[in-house]
Structure 1
Amino acid sequence: MHHQKNPNELSLLHAFTVQAKEKEIILIYFTPEMINQSKIHGFFYENGHWELRETDYPEVIYNLSFYSKKDMQLLQKLKETTPVINFPPIDWVDYYELLCDEAEFNQHLVPSLRIKTSGQFLRFLENYRRILLKPVETKPNLQLLFERKGDTFLVRHGKHLLEQNQEEVRTLVRNKIVMEDYYIQPYLLCKTLDGKEYNIRIKLQKNLKGMWIIQSIIPCLSQQVDLINISEYKALPIQIDDFLKQQFGKFHFQLKSQIKQFSNLLALKITQTNGVFLQTHEIEIVMVLDDLQNFWITDVTSPSLIHSMGNSDLEAVKNQISYALALINK
């Protein structure tokens, strides 16, 4: 299950079709909108292309959809009769509140606060010159960046830039939080040596024994200057070792080791602390690195994108299908 309506736009789906054929299982691709009370209007890959037809519910669902309230309600209902791999965990702010009192984690967490009022927002902005207003649900196109410039504020939304006074900002924020649940956090500049914005995404996956393993560490680059929209960060065609060596020289090996160790500890801690997380098959940790080589966690989520990064993702697909078969055969 994925939010992308056209399966042809997800290149890595080919690896799923190949592995499904090898395992002699039927693969169905569908979006939440394709589900009704008892049937699914899903895509089947046959004769070299995707064909749409009606079918019964599958024996197991691998979820890669966005996590809106509507999707969550649907998944909860599906889970009553069908195993769901990659069931969404709690949101990032809950993770932050869970981990901020833990000494081994809090020094790497970007301060994050669930916002209830516009006054709360403005007080937070007094302490940080740049802050992000981010939706609790996975809706990256709703993310805004606010930057204080004397008595005025610059507001970035995707490619758009506005200059507003304090009352205009207050009204904008009030209108936003009435419609959606938002949180705020300081915006940390994270740029390559040639000035391009980037982040690093660590994807972890449970193996068949239920243990967390790092499936990939991917540097992602913003496609436009000053574009504040996480969905516009694209995976670079470079291994993390080479990327860190380019950016941090002799410190690259130490940095990678710290990132891997921290990511495993984070996944393990949340698993032990929150029962909802036990039903999650994959997580993605988003981090940035500052000029002093400190890393900061800005988000923890279930992956909603399929990247094509070579052999590591092929192994991930094999593991996902094996995991699904293990659930069916329980």
Structure 2
Amino acid sequence: MITFGFITIHPNQENTYITEIARHSDSNTIVYRFIPTAIDPATEKVHGEKFNHESGVWETAVFDIPMYLYDRCFYGDDPLSIRSQPIMNWLKNRPYSTFIGLGLPNKWEIYNVLRSDEELAAYTPKTIKASSVPKIINKLIKDKKLLLKPKNGSQGKGIIGLMVTKGKVEALTHKNQKLITKSFLSKSEFSKWLDQLLSSRDYMCQQLLPLQDVDNHPFDIRILLQKNENGEWIEQGRGIRRGLKDHLISNINAGAEVLKYDDWVNALPVQQQALLTDGITTIINKVPKLLEREFLNLFELGIDIGFGIDGGVWILDINSKPGRKVILHSKEGKADELYKAPLQYSAYLEKQSLVKGVD
């Protein structure tokens, strides 16, 4: 019997996803869900919920820490996140815990690994640490347009665009699917604002790439990679995220729509199709193996790829806790396969552990 645990920061987070996973489990698997703070440190018992196959509902339960764990924790600045992170670190270092994927470090570490590979470096936008106000101002004067990205962040949150235009600096951010523009008429005013920003969190800085379509909508290509029942990396699907007009990001939570990849790519000139296909093939063949070699074991990756108006192919972001909306919306009949994937990979890990036990 395999026990499978789904972990989130807040109760009932990603409820639809974990419920569908549980419904797709077989009689040899018991599926639980819980939050990190529900673990009793003295007994290591968990107060959470167990899925009842007969009734199809979740029931309150107390249980041992499951054999296989699926980390879907997204951390914020709230008290529960702050309390949960050290518990998750302990859990990942616990000898008897097996996570189906251990996740990735911050974006700066990922960037340096990608740049160290000769082929992938060509697809990785040159990035620097936003370590000081003068450094960013000098780069802005040179490049005219910059993008600031939080070193730790996801879903496009915290991204800021900086532009020099008509003798002033504009800072563009997003909030509740709205584009917010703040203008600075003097260098001192902008410097003060930038100093406060860089003091609040760690940022990375890169040139703002031309990644809009002909109607000035930002867009990117989301590719979902997962390991299958044989422990091999496979592509589960890809789709286009098309953001709101004149915005910086194309994340779903920022109002982006989903387009089918095949329909979109077939509208491109043949030469551009070839360049894009060649770049994507290199990226998806090399990235998973490189990241696992440099960091820790992974189960899935969401790779966001930009395609510039100049034909440039760029790795924009890599997420070890990706969503599935893009794939579910753009590839029909994929739902069952996506919901079974974490369970099938857990079964593979169980087989591997039994083989090692026999050896």
Asked if residue 64 in structure 1 is aligned to residue 72 in structure 2, the reply is yes
| Aligned-residue identity in percent | 20
Tell me whether 1:153 sits opposite 2:169 in the alignment: yes
Q: CA deviation at 1:296?
A: 0.8
SS in 1 for 2:163: strand
Name the SS for the 2:24 alignment partner: helix
The separation in 1 between residues aligned to 2:144 and 2:196, in whole angstroms, is 22
Q: 1:74 and 2:87 equivalent? A: yes
1:96–1:109 contact (8 Å) kept in structure 2 = yes
1:78 Cα shift? 0.7
Q: Aligned-pair distance for 1:226? A: 1.4
Gaps of 5+ in 2: 1-6, 354-359
- Higher-RCO chain (CA-CA 8 Å, sequence separation at least 6): 1
Q: Which sits farther off after the overlay, 108-117 or 319-328? A: 319-328
Tell me, yes or no, if structure 1 residue 259 matches structure 2 residue 280: yes
Provide, for residues 236-271 of structure 1, a one-character-per-residue CA deviation record: whole Å limited to 9, x for no partner. Answer: 55431212113x143475233531332212222333
* In 1, Cα distance between equivalents of 2:107 and 2:32: 30
Q: Determine whether 1:93 maps to 2:120.
A: no
Alignment counterpart, residue 217 of structure 2, candidates 176, 180, 196: 196
Partner letter of residue 295 of structure 1? V
Structure 1 match to 2:183: 163
Per the TM alignment, residue 154 of structure 1 is displaced from its structure 2 partner at its CA by 0.9
What is the aligned partner in structure 2 of residue 317 from structure 1?
A: 339
Unaligned 5+ runs, structure 1:
none
Distance 1:42 1:306 in 2: 25
Q: Distance in 2 between matches of 1:237 and 1:10?
A: 22
State the TM-score, normalizing by the size of structure 2.
0.78
In 1, the alpha carbon distance for the partners of 2:341 and 2:65 equals 22
Counterpart Cα distance in 2 of 1:194 and 1:99:
31
- Structure number with bigger Rg: 2
State the SS of the aligned residue for 1:26.
Answer: strand
Shifted more, 189-198 versus 79-88: the winner is 189-198
Partner of 1:176: 197
Per the normalisation by structure 1, the TM-score is: 0.84
Alignment partners' CA distance in 2, 1:5 and 1:116: 37
Which stretch has the larger CA shift, 92-101 or 293-302? 92-101
Number of residues of Structure 1 aligned to a counterpart in Structure 2: 324
Contact 1:29 1:44 in 2 (8 A): yes
Aligned residue number for residue 289 of structure 1: 307
* Separation of aligned partners in 1, 2:343 and 2:167: 56
The residue number in structure 2 matching 1:2 is 8
2:34 maps to 1:30: yes
- Label 1:30 to 1:328 Cα distance change in 2 as closer, same or farther (>3 A): same
Q: Deviations over 1:197-229 (max 9, x none)?
A: 211112222234443222222211224641547
Tell me how far 1:61 sits from its aligned partner: 0.8
Q: Take 1:223 and 1:150, find their aligned partners in 2: how far apart are those partners?
A: 24
Q: Which residue of 2 aligns with 1:299?
A: 317
How much is the aligned-residue C-alpha RMSD, in angstroms? 2.9
1:215/1:161 Cα in 2 relative to 1: closer, same or farther (>3 Å)?
same
Distance 1:19 1:118, change over 3 A: same
Cα 1:146/1:281, change in 2 over 3 Å:
same
Structure 1 residue 321, shift from structure 2 partner: 0.5
Report which stretch shifted further, 309-318 or 211-220.
309-318
In 2, Cα distance between the equivalents of 1:219 and 1:77? 37
